[in-house]
Structure formats: C-alpha cells, structure tokens
A = this chain, B = another copy of it.
Amino acid sequence: MRAEDRKLLDATPFARGIGTETTERLVRGAFVQSMPRDTVLFLEGDMPEFVHLVLSGRVSLEASDARGRSTVVEIFRDGQLFILAAAILRKPYLLNARTLAETRVLMIPADPFRALLDEDPRLARALVDQFAGYWRMLVRQIKDLKLRSASERLAAYLLLHADTRRRSDSFRLGEELRVVAARLGIAPESLSRAFVALRPFGVSSRGRAVAIADIAALRAVSGFDEVE
C-alpha cells in the first residue's frame, strides 16, 4: 500500500473511528486496485469476496431490470466504505458496482474482515455508526421517491450540493446528467425538463454548470424540509 493511499485511508472518519491498530490489522492482507472509468467491480448475484473502500474517485451502485433499464441507487466517494451488508451477511450482492471515474479502491478480503469484526469491538462499533448513517441515507431517498415529484427531487438534490449558508450559489455537478437522472430515478429527458421547470424559481443551468439565484426560494420548491 502506497504511503499516499495510507494517508487517504487514515483521514477517513471510519479509520479514525477504529484507531490506528485496528486499521493496521485491516490493511494487512488488503490491496489497492486502480481502475479506469466504467470498470465493473461486481455484479448483482455475485458472492462478495471483498469489502471495498473508495480511496479516490467514484463508484456507482446500480440495478437493472429484465428490460435492460438501469438505475443508480447510490454513489460512493472518497473515504467511503460500500456494500458491507452483503459481505457481512455472506449473501449475494443486490446491486452492480461500477466506477464513474478513474478510481482507487482498497480491497479488503471478506473473510479476514469478518473475523476481525467478531474479535475487535472497535470495528463493530464503528460499523454500527457507519450503517446508521446508511440507514438515514436510504430512508431519505425513499421519502424522495415516494413524496416528491421529479423537479422537487432535482431541487432537493441541488440544495444538497449547494452551499446553503449562502443566499445564492453556483457550482458544477460532479456527475454526468445522465447519472444524476438515474440517481433521481427519472429519464435523462425528464431531468432536462425538470431544470426548465426550476427556471422560474431562479435555477439556471448550462450542461452541468448550475447557478441558484435564491436558495431559500428553491428550498420552498423542494416540497418539504429535510430534517437536519
């Protein structure tokens, strides 16, 4: 493991949660894999052999149906562990994983990981917090899907990426719009139209570049206030 990668790892909340010694044991037997954009890490139905941690880049968790339509459940970034559940429960993955950019992933073999989980209380305790955060992440998305329209979801998504302490903000979306659409659960064309629908509320966009004129106004459009 390169010193640079180790530094990335040590900086994650997770590594700090479990402490240096446990991190050290976790890293033993693990290796770093560097992969180009659009690499498939695993497919739905595969049995997990590794626990993955994104050191740099982005990984998208996707699902697709029989008709070949595909959607993005979540995107994991720097410093995030992902798809622990399957590895811990020894059950097949529910999702496909694919890189959205050049990505470096720490691959921790599942067997020693589970063994360490059973014997090291700090690891278990840190995972409880990790999973509690995941629960809230997914519950938010389910609320989004069930209670918000497409443009309300976009409004909420933009607010998530904006600096909401300011009155207005402009930024560039980290993902391609097609990926944002898949994450929001709508067709790319509908995302375009959702941007148009938000225009009267002070949102202007040219491709991935977005400007929000009035954050408070956009929040009013987003349907309901997200707790915290």
List residues of chain A with CB under 8 Å of any chain B CB: 44-45, 63-66, 69, 71, 73, 84-86, 88-89, 91-95, 117-118, 121, 124-125, 127-129, 131-136, 138-143, 145-148, 185, 223-224, 227-228
Contact = CB atoms under 8 A, between A and B. Distances in A.
B148 A146 contact: no
Contacts of A73: 139, 142-143, 146
A130 to B, nearest CB: 8
A71 B146 contact: yes
A94 to B, nearest CB: 5
27 contacts: A44-B227, A63-B146, A63-B147, A64-B147, A65-B223, A65-B224, A73-B142, A84-B135, A85-B132, A85-B133, A85-B139, A86-B136, A88-B129, A89-B129, A92-B228, A94-B143, A117-B128, A121-B124, A124-B124, A127-B128, A127-B131, A131-B131, A131-B132, A138-B142, A141-B142, A142-B142, A142-B145
A99 B86 CA distance: 31
Nearest to A73: B142
Contacts of A71: 143, 146-147
B91 A139 contact: no
Contacts of A148: 65
Contact of A135 (B69, B117, B135): B135
